[in-house]
Amino acid sequence: MDKMKVLIVDDDEIIAGLAKIILDNMFDNEYIFKIKTAANGEEGYKLSLDFKPDLVLTDIQMPGKNGIEMVRAIRQHSPEIKTIYMSGEWSKFQTPLQEEHTMHQAYFLKKPFAISELKQLLCEA
């Protein structure tokens, strides 16, 4: 079985690291994910060009290119990319997130989130 490639993008190293640990140990230690991390939207976009992830797990609010802008740029090359957006503050991004959900079936996690919530979205994505 091919490993699902996941790109985790978050300017908070602790959250990115925890998300990676969760994915690495999610399904009875069967390593079904190949994971790369990036610290911001610009780095995530550049990394996606070579890595070609199946799914992007991204924070929205980051310095420079935010998560929504980054995913839109990635979609220029990979229109079918699956996305899970994370944020503690949804109100500023409600309209573009609704568009993402409608047009691309994007998923959302409200920070802080439970491991079970992340697992459920990964199974759905």
**pLDDT tens digit sequence for 60-113:** 999 889 999 999 999 999 999 999 999 988 778 888 888 888 899 899 998 888
Q: Which domain holds residue 31?
A: 1-89
Contact, 16 vs 10, CB < 8 A? Answer: yes
20 located within any domain = yes
CATH of the domain at 84: 3.40.50.2300
CB contact burial 18-56 (16+ within 10 A = b; e otherwise): ebbebbeebeeeeeebebbbbebbbbbbebbeebebbbb
Whole-number average pLDDT of the chain: 89
pLDDT at position 36: 96
pLDDT at position 30: 60
101 located within any domain = no
How far from chain centre, in Å, is Cα 22? Answer: 13
Q: How many domains does the chain have?
A: 1
15 located within any domain = yes
